[in-house]
A = this chain, B = another copy of it.
Amino acid sequence: MSAPALAASRHRVVVVGGGFGGLFAARRLKRAPVEVTLVDRSANHVFQPMLYQCATGIVPEATIAPPLRGIFRRHRHVSVLLAEVTGFDLEGRTVRARSPAGGELVLPFDSLIVAAGMQTSYFGHDEFAAYAPGLKTIDDARTVGQRVFGAFEVAEASHDPEERRAWLTFAIVGAGPSGVELAGQIRQAARQTLRREYRHIDPTECRVLLFDGGKEPLATFGDHLSGRAAQTLESMGVELRMGSIATALDGRGLDVRSGDGTVTRYEARTIVWTAGVAASPLGRMLAAATGVSTDRAGRVEVLPDCTLPGRPEVFVIGDMMSLDGLPGVAEVAMQSGMHAARTIRRRLAGRETGRFRYVDMGSMAFVGKRRAVVDFRGLKLSGFFGWLMWLAVHLTFLTGFSNRLAALLSWSLALTGSRRGRIFRTSDLERPPEPVTTRRTRSV
């Protein structure tokens, strides 16, 4: 691409997705001679690592979901557009999107950055969705919170001991960071805030079951920290069921197959699915248009500079890209977003560009109140110091000062006292009806 020619009129960059990848790409184009259109179907940037805190009412939704417009208020080069991207014309260099009012929008681009992230995947069992919400969006967090806290309400109103026990049993499928954090948080809430609030049940008797096909929770953290996480979870009363695959589930419980092939039925009225994610369907669309492959999770195999073969102006970044086995974490999304922005800036300045180099900043998960496991650039921490680090990093990443302040206040209240902000009505507690007999017999 000959950069000086482009610089004459404003270079148009379309960024698809307002997650970490899109956000950092758009911000880093600040001083470049470009105009950016950031398109997302959500009006908010969602700080996904804290969704489970939103579900359990520790922080209000608004704190972890600042409006994209607010974030870019002072970035006059960025125009935010609320619309759902429906397709691409890479030849004609346009993105097609459905306007919220219904019409079709056509967005021309000179450079395109696709960062539409991941969504919950039920591995071909989409019918599970009705019974076991995921934890990827604000709506998910709301649903999970209503179901978890609602289950204690139903148990309190019930006189049948068996029903009561089933409502006080929580099954979490998937022991990655979201599953681990949520499991710890439910036990914590039961022991600390809920304990004194009920008259007919003892919330501390609730069972939290954590299922995963792997050997240990937080498998990607390595043996040392996984072991610490397992210890911490067990000390909190979470029941680990590793080497277990959910084979069928319905509104009343789930069937789980363990390593030796036996299938066990668990009566659990509340199930949360954090077992699988798949790239946005936009990934397959792009792959098909350029003849590249996608991996099993639907991620697009990009060139080392995060672009598509033969389309140097099209970047696929963050969770949607398959590159060098990089994990789908916020850090990779941010850094690849910054890389795409830098590449565009350098091209426009006629300078050399290079491949994406990821700097591993480590990973972390919050297990319980004042307990976390952290792997920060080789430094492995768990317990209280892990938690301090977790807090510092999360506060640093939260976009916007007022949110940071509000989050800090919310946390202080949650950690010192017992604030709980779940909002629901009886109608929110309804479970979809399920044909129990047919589901019970299926085995996958």
B105, B163, B193, B199: the one contacting A101 at CB < 8 Å is: B163
Kindly report which residue of chain B lies nearest to residue A97, judged by CB atoms. Answer: B157
CA distance A410 to B83 in the complex (A): 29
The majority secondary structure among interface residues of chain A is mixed
Let me know if A158 is at the binding interface, CB within 8 A: yes
Let me know if A409 is at the binding interface, CB within 8 A: yes
Least CB distance from A68 to B in Å reads 9
Mark interface residues in A82-114 (1 if CB within 8 Å of B CB, else 0). Answer: 111000000000000011110101000000000
Let me know if A384 is at the binding interface, CB within 8 A: no
B83, B149, B418: the one contacting A43 at CB < 8 Å is: B149
Let me know if A358 is at the binding interface, CB within 8 A: no
Least CB distance from A234 to B in Å reads 29
A406 adjacent to B413 (CB under 8 Å): yes
Least CB distance from A420 to B in Å reads 6
Mark interface residues in A403-444 (1 if CB within 8 Å of B CB, else 0). Answer: 001100110010001111111111101100000000000000
Let me know if A402 is at the binding interface, CB within 8 A: yes
Residues of B within 8 A of A61 (CB): 60-61, 421, 423
CA distance A69 to B155 in the complex (A): 14
Residues of B within 8 A of A83 (CB): 157, 426
Kindly report which residue of chain B lies nearest to residue A166, judged by CB atoms. Answer: B101
B423 adjacent to A65 (CB under 8 Å): yes
| Residues A35-85 near B (CB distance < 8 A) | 41-44, 57, 60-63, 65-67, 69-70, 72-74, 76, 79-84
Query: Contacts A196-B73, A198-B69, A406-B409: A422 and B157 contacting too (C-beta < 8 A)?
Result: no
CA distance A417 to B72 in the complex (A): 16
Residues of B within 8 A of A43 (CB): 149-150, 153, 422-425
Kindly report which residue of chain B lies nearest to residue A419, judged by CB atoms. Answer: B402
B425 adjacent to A42 (CB under 8 Å): yes
B62, B150, B430: the one contacting A57 at CB < 8 Å is: B62
Residues of B within 8 A of A422 (CB): 43, 62, 67
B413 adjacent to A98 (CB under 8 Å): no
Least CB distance from A116 to B in Å reads 13
Chain A residues within 8 Å of chain B by Cβ, number: 66
CA distance A44 to B417 in the complex (A): 19
Let me know if A197 is at the binding interface, CB within 8 A: yes
B157 adjacent to A82 (CB under 8 Å): yes
Let me know if A331 is at the binding interface, CB within 8 A: no
Kindly report which residue of chain B lies nearest to residue A69, judged by CB atoms. Answer: B197
B44 adjacent to A423 (CB under 8 Å): yes
Let me know if A156 is at the binding interface, CB within 8 A: yes
Residues of B within 8 A of A73 (CB): 196-197
Let me know if A135 is at the binding interface, CB within 8 A: no
Let me know if A236 is at the binding interface, CB within 8 A: no
* CB pairs A–B below 8 angstroms (23 shown): A41-B425, A42-B424, A42-B426, A43-B150, A43-B423, A43-B425, A44-B423, A60-B63, A62-B422, A65-B421, A67-B197, A73-B196, A79-B199, A82-B150, A82-B154, A99-B157, A100-B153, A100-B154, A100-B430, A101-B429, A103-B158, A139-B425, A402-B419
Q: A41-B427, A79-B200, A100-B154 are in contact. List 12 more A-B contacts (CB 8 A).
A: A43-B149, A60-B60, A60-B63, A61-B421, A69-B197, A70-B193, A70-B418, A70-B420, A82-B154, A100-B153, A405-B413, A406-B409
| Chain A interface (Cβ < 8 Å from any Cβ of B) | 41-44, 57, 60-63, 65-67, 69-70, 72-74, 76, 79-84, 98-101, 103, 105, 138-139, 149-150, 153-154, 156-158, 163, 167, 193, 196-200, 402, 405-406, 409-410, 413, 417-427, 429-430
